[in-house]
Structure 1
């Protein structure tokens, strides 16, 4: 039996295999009006195809807990019941294919109010349905980006409440896994890193203060998420900043990721989804096949928190080796699943594993 296709249990939830779909924004929702942030036929087709293809856990894209938490005006949201109804149609289908539906809850912070990547990805103003972003400190993400509004303590608590209500709606929408997005330079990651957090109150300065918001969000999600279902947390293990960078501000480090992993586990997180980067636009990132796996491996070696690895994992043998060598408990595929929605089925054939196959497609087996 292939290790990649062994079931994996988190709390009482059994995920049928270790091939998981990473959240990937589609920028395909209506930006304004009664259907703002509502999942469309595109989202259904995108997520359903990966479930049909045998992916064990299908994680929906970064879904905003409030309108101003969207990365772009065309992002998915989960701040109202209309959005819930559209998502329930998707989760019902994913479960019907034997896969597990998950959702990533997110707030973009200072990286909000931008255009879709194929439209340049830069900041957009009110004329393109944009808004003023918020952040822990009034530091723009990059040249040409607006200075964000610095959140007050009361406003921070409002965002925490937004995550709580979003988790409640995610459960109502039929999701079985919820992931808190603390990576890629979005709001939670902005609080974590001294590169973007210059506060001098209880949310800034020391490591304990910078992780406070993340832990409060996790606590809020856990308040409403069933005890028997898992909570994941996505982290950027490093900002990839060094002392030789032009920007001399210190960044978030792998050492801090290991420390945070222990705290997250104590607050009810069941698995750490380990990515990197996104908070410093000119950081030099050394990419290559499996380039982020060592970060997941270190967390797994130095804590008891399960981990998933992500980042240029494209080959079945490569993925199998990550699991069999104990470097991670699962792998998340992003672009490779865009290229090949049935990657899990192809990998199962190559590795001798078993994976769900829809009756309608049995003639192709």
Structure 2
């Protein structure tokens, strides 16, 4: 299957076309916001609506555009919108046109309370803790933030080693929206074969909370049909900066399903449905596996949505559902 002859099934109909690394957020007033990587990798966009369905046709606002040269001039990736300490922030990754793989994490701050209409300002690159000599010195991206027991934690992917390098996930506590308070702690590295196809990769972290546990999903391997989702989990009462309290599931929790026409699912986010009870997984995937050229520059990673189910032990189960049925809960 390629972009000219793929099958449309009951399972692979996109929520929003050509929006990779999808991030959806539900604000305290019930408004839903959606952002993602655009195929040109040249800007940060945001749309808002009172309902999830409304996001499909909502106006897309351009909040920020890449620089003409130097830092933040290429590869604008994976923006996430967060409301921290009473203000709006966006975390995103960007490269340098003169050194295109010099990817680093950056921060935008909204000067007002309307993230769609008010002005945004750059806060520069994310800052490591004062005594951290390691973070953000290499290819770093895909940051997310979450709260537990009154503390904010920041999780991101960063490469280490030589050659093709290895992308690991790290965690630290926040001191401020644009600075870490603690030295990086390694959470997960690609251990299994399904995390090592094409590249050795753990990236795209996302947080799901359920019945006293914190679930951390992540994406693994290269960005083609081998791309898939893994998962860690920890008890919310534990010290989340202690890597020993996290358990890694040994198999992917979401992967390519040729029969359903879904290829390379991953880089997801989680959001509550309008009933404030149902958990939804917003992820990207393609409808075909044969990619011309570098998969990173194939534009057809589409945003899709599935309902998260839970088994008798309270663990999340990710299963592709009929999109017409998913529409009923949005």
TM-score when normalising by structure 2: 0.32
Between structures 1 and 2, the one with greater helix share: 1
TM-score when normalising by structure 1: 0.30
